Amino acid sequence: MHLSDLWFIAIATLWAGYFLLEGFDFGVGILLPFLGRDESDRRVLINTIGPVWDGNEVWLLTAGGATFAAFPGWYAAMFSSFYLPLLLVLIALIFRGVAFEYRGKRDDPRWRRRWDAAIFGGSLLPAILWGVAFGNVLHGIRLNAAHNYAGNFLDLLTPYALLGGAATLALFTLHGAVFLALKTDGELRARANALVTPLGLAAVVAGGGFLAWTEAVHRSPGYAATGAASIALAALAAAGLVVAVGANRYGREGLAFLGNAVAIVAATAALFTALYPRVLPSTISPAYTLTTANSSSTAMTLMVMTVVAAIFLPLVLAYQAWTYWVFRRRLSVSR
């Protein structure tokens, strides 16, 4: 295995971790106006992710930084091609972060409602746009010989990419409901549990359809081993969804959360496996496609990155695991 292949796997792992952890943050924000019937409810919902949401976003920064360092060609082409949707994601994340900090600064219902709307919109928009972006990465974009984007924003809104947006929206919203069922008690827990089955069905339809379309059309041609692995991972993702919905019906919230976590990680792994060894296909000509070979940094750069990651990654993972352990208890409304 070349170091470029190792870092492709590392970047896929970072995105899987981001979707796993930030996914339930997005889900909680999306469900805030539906489960939060009064200020006490909404305060509890926000408190479930209050200690961890900003730490979860570090996975996105690390994924972007690793892509920049390991695959500068991929980074340049992808971030310039998706400039507008990524800018919208950035604005949404900024407004959401500000809303978490500012909604409690004034004892004014209208003030809090406005920031609650920012939390909802700042969670909904990225939950959709990440799926649209990854749909375009798998489908390919109008990349020319200079590896510059030759299309426009509307060219990114293909049926496949829009289905990807629906899939991530459904998966993240389900993840939020399962997380809230695990982290709350009383009426909030019951209401979150009631949402898991319909949201699970939506996730099966949208997510399953997106993965099936990927395996049928968009996985890398000529790579039988990765194709078989991608199909197996997609099947594992479907099994995780079934476990999540089934466990929730029997009151096993911990198992339900684990099942949905497996679904998100396996689905992300299936998409990256289907993409490999491409990193950004060109719909103009296969000769213009970016791969792990023609877009990576030098071997020395990748070696230095590998050594640094081996030293510091365990420390970061240990610290974040400790944070979740400290804030592991259920929350309830005190009346």
The answer to whether residue 49 is domain-embedded is yes
The answer to whether residue 110 is domain-embedded is yes
The total domain count for the chain is 1
- With tokens 């099942």, the residue in question is 259
One DSSP character per residue, 31-66 reads HHHHH--SHHHHHHHHHHHTTTHHHHHHHHHHHHHH
pLDDT at 329: 86
pLDDT at 328: 86
Phi, psi of 281 (to 5 degrees): -70, 150
The answer to whether residue 316 is domain-embedded is no
User: pTM for this one?
Assistant: 0.94
The answer to whether residue 317 is domain-embedded is no
The answer to whether residue 147 is domain-embedded is yes
pLDDT at 66: 94
- 89-109 tens-digit pLDDT: 999 999 999 999 999 888 888
The answer to whether residue 226 is domain-embedded is yes
The answer to whether residue 7 is domain-embedded is yes
Q: Is the dihedral of CA 127, 129, 134, 138 positive or negative?
A: positive
pLDDT at 1: 64
Q: pLDDT means per 10 residues in the chain (335 residues)?
A: 91 96 96 92 93 91 94 93 93 95 90 95 96 94 92 91 96 96 92 94 94 87 83 94 93 94 96 94 93 93 94 90 89 70
Question: Is 293 in a helix, a strand, or coil?
Answer: coil
pLDDT at 273: 94
Residue 32 sits in which domain range? 3-299
For residue 268, give the CATH number of its domain: 1.20.1630.10
The answer to whether residue 157 is domain-embedded is yes
